[in-house]
Amino acid sequence: MIRPIFESPSQEKKPESLQNQQKEQITSIPNNLSRAPKSTSLKDLLIKVPEVAHQPVTRESTKLSTPFNTDELIQCWNAYAEKLAEKAHLKNTMIHYKPVLLDHFKFEVMVSNPAQQEELISNSIEILKILRTQLKNEHIQMHIRIEETNEKKRAYTSEEKYEFLNDLNPLLSKLKDEFDLTLD
């Protein structure tokens, strides 16, 4: 059997110019890469890029916070109330009770009774979504409370009824005294 004879590259005779080019190529290879690595690693092949300090993006920093005034708030409030055709109770409540702007994008709505308060609370997500979109501010918060001074005093006893009527017309006490009337 005849075997072919292979010559190794080191045994070949190369011209000097070719040998010089190979030496230049060897010297231009980075230090972390060797001609004949024992094992290949991806870390050796990667080009190192200086790390840039990244600031974490938080949800709070991406929120819109365009300032607005009371007139703009009331205008958006009324516009939404006018669109409510199916929810008559909510529409009437929003038309009769206007928001009052407090500080830091908070506003308050003063209502007369717990039914109105419950109606606004149950629809607050929809109301705030519309207001936040139209006013371009995602920090808006709504507070709803019942007006304490609006509570009507009811007269149940005879004395309470007399005092209520006497406050309306002070001549009633004069009439009581002239005719010597008593309360039952």
Residues 73-120: tens digit of each pLDDT: 899 999 999 998 888 899 999 999 999 988 888 999 999 889 999 999
CA nearest neighbour of 87 among 114, 113, 122: 122
The predicted pLDDT at position 123 comes to 93
Q: Over 80: is that where the pLDDT of 124 sits?
A: yes
> Is residue 107 within a helix (H) or strand (E), and if so which, with residue range?
strand 106-111
CATH superfamily of 70-150: DnaA, N-terminal domain (3.30.300.180)
Q: Over 70: is that where the pLDDT of 169 sits?
A: yes
Domain boundaries, the chain: 70-150, 153-184
Ramachandran category for residue 180: left, alpha or beta (phi over 0 → left; psi -120 to 50 → alpha): left
The predicted pLDDT at position 78 comes to 93
The predicted pLDDT at position 22 comes to 56
pTM: 0.50
Extract long-range pairs of 10-18: CB within 8 Å, 24+ residues apart: none
Work out the mean pLDDT of the chain and round it to a whole number.
78
Radius of gyration of the chain (CA): 43
Q: What is the mean pLDDT of residues 131-147?
A: 90
8 A C-beta contact, residue 116 and residue 152:
no
At 4, the amino acid letter reads: P
Pairing status of strand 99-101 against strand 141-146: unpaired
Alpha-carbon gap, residue 166 to 143, rounded angstroms: 38
Confidence of residue 126 (pLDDT cuts 50, 70, 90): very high
Residue 163 CB partners (closer than 8 Å, separation 6+): 155
Angstrom CA distances, 142 to 51, 74, 87, 99, 138, stand at 44, 13, 19, 9, 12
